[in-house]
Homo-oligomer: A and B are copies of this chain.
Amino acid sequence: MTALEPQPDGCFAPVIAVSQTRGDLILVCEHASNSFPAPWGDLGLGPDQRQAHIAWDPGALGLMQALARRLDASTIHATVSRLIYDCNRAPDMPGAMPARSEIHDVPGNANLSDASRLARTRAVYLPFHAALHGMIAEQIAQGRRPTVITIHSFTPVYFGQARAVEFGVIHDADDRLACAILALAKAQTDLICGLNAPYSAADDVTHTLRLQAIPYGLVNAMLEIRNDLISTPAAQEAMADRLAPVLAAALAQMTEA
């Protein structure tokens, strides 16, 4: 690997699904996939590692799609593992192409050359953000004001520590929507909720919001669901049933503001 890493032939475009009702909500799932396509392959990871939370956010794609059906949202999701390129990280952030994730070394990411980092940025990061930018700018051009919400999941045990939080709401510079969602989730569900938990913007996890929503002054937030609560399609649907009314009510408050 490293300097000899083969170069991709093309780009690994994200998948977009546009609301059929012209809904103004855009849901984003940067960590939807645990696909390790050629030319990168498995990065030296075993099957268990490629299934684990280090490779993707298990359950997040299904939850996002279940929410989109209930909220008439448009969606976009990445199609390669975050370990090949994490689209929620700028190319210079350590987590963009990490050589180590939690307690796992990622052999195929050790000592990446500038050429390899550049190739992955071109193949994965730039097409993802160009596509999302297009979704946002095209809505704005038509007089609409999209809301951007990123959908993530987190592992129940991290560095050996159990996490009590079940539902985290994270904000960047604009906390309006995050605070509204948190208050409503506490009032309307029995989920154990946390603001800026288990991560916060200080951990560089709000790159998509900062790049895509903040420059346009768009209402935005990042959601984190503990992945043991959304491990099956049925659980994802059930969680969407709990969260969709919360999100709808929070969005209605934004419209009124």
- Tell yes or no: A125 within 8 A of B by CB: yes
- Tell yes or no: A10 within 8 A of B by CB: no
CB atoms of A114 and B142 under 8 A apart:
yes
- Tell yes or no: A164 within 8 A of B by CB: no
Shortest Cβ distance from A163 into chain B, in angstroms? 29
In the docked arrangement, what's the CA distance between A123 and B118, Å? 27
Shortest Cβ distance from A95 into chain B, in angstroms? 14
- Tell yes or no: A238 within 8 A of B by CB: no
- Tell yes or no: A239 within 8 A of B by CB: no
Copies of this chain present in the complex amount to: 2
1/0 per residue, CB under 8 A from B, across A115-143: the answer is: 00110111001100110011001101111
CB atoms of A125 and B137 under 8 A apart:
yes
Among the stretches A54-62, A151-159, A209-217, the one at the interface with B is A209-217
CB atoms of A91 and B133 under 8 A apart:
no
In the docked arrangement, what's the CA distance between A127 and B140, Å? 16
- Tell yes or no: A92 within 8 A of B by CB: yes
Q: 10 shortest A-B CB distances, which residue pairs?
A: A91-B141, A121-B141, A114-B142, A211-B215, A117-B141, A91-B140, A210-B215, A92-B140, A118-B141, A130-B130
Residues of A with Cβ closer than 8 Å to B?
A: 90-92, 114, 117-118, 120-122, 125-126, 129-130, 133-134, 137-138, 140-143, 145, 207, 210-211, 214-216
- In addition to A92-B145, A114-B141, A122-B134, 20 A-B residue pairs with Cβ atoms within 8 Å of each other are A91-B137, A91-B140, A92-B140, A114-B142, A114-B143, A117-B142, A118-B141, A118-B142, A120-B141, A121-B137, A121-B138, A121-B140, A122-B138, A126-B133, A126-B137, A129-B133, A130-B130, A207-B215, A211-B215, A214-B215
A-B contacts, 17 listed (Cβ < 8 Å): A90-B137, A90-B140, A90-B216, A91-B137, A91-B138, A91-B141, A92-B140, A114-B141, A114-B143, A117-B141, A117-B142, A118-B138, A120-B141, A121-B138, A126-B137, A130-B130, A214-B215
